[in-house]
Amino acid sequence: MVDVRRRKLAIIAMNVSVLAAALSWLLVLFSVMYSPAAVPWALGVAIVLTVIGAYALYRYYSKYSHVLPNEDPDAHDVLGHDLHSTHLPHLHHTEGNADRA
């Protein structure tokens, strides 16, 4: 049995690594547009963070993907809405809103 806390921390680490890699490529883009002298530095940071993110994605996803929690088919959020439904209850038109549109 896989420790739930360890699995959650691994998934968080994987997500943070991938997010950092994506944001570093935005840094490269802004460096190209606003500060061409900083492009080599930004490119180096982006490459390093991309390698770390790819490794984290490979390691943690391959280790924990088969033990991800099963979704509850009867899952509801705190307001009681069905989480698996495509219906958005707060966006439907009512009689009062139809006059304003």
Q: Could you state, in order of their start, the residue ranges of all structural domains in the chain?
A: 1-69
HEC per residue, the chain: CCCHHHHHHHHHHHHHHHHHHHHHHHHHHHHHHHCHHHHHHHHHHHHHHHHHHHHHHHHHHHHHHHHCCCCCCCCECCCCCECCCCCCHHHCCCHHHHCCC
Which tokens sit at 72?
């509850």
pLDDT tens by residue, the chain, 101 residues? 557 777 788 888 888 888 999 999 999 999 999 999 999 999 999 999 999 988 888 887 777 666 555 555 555 555 555 555 555 555 555 555 555 55
pLDDT at res. 71 = 54
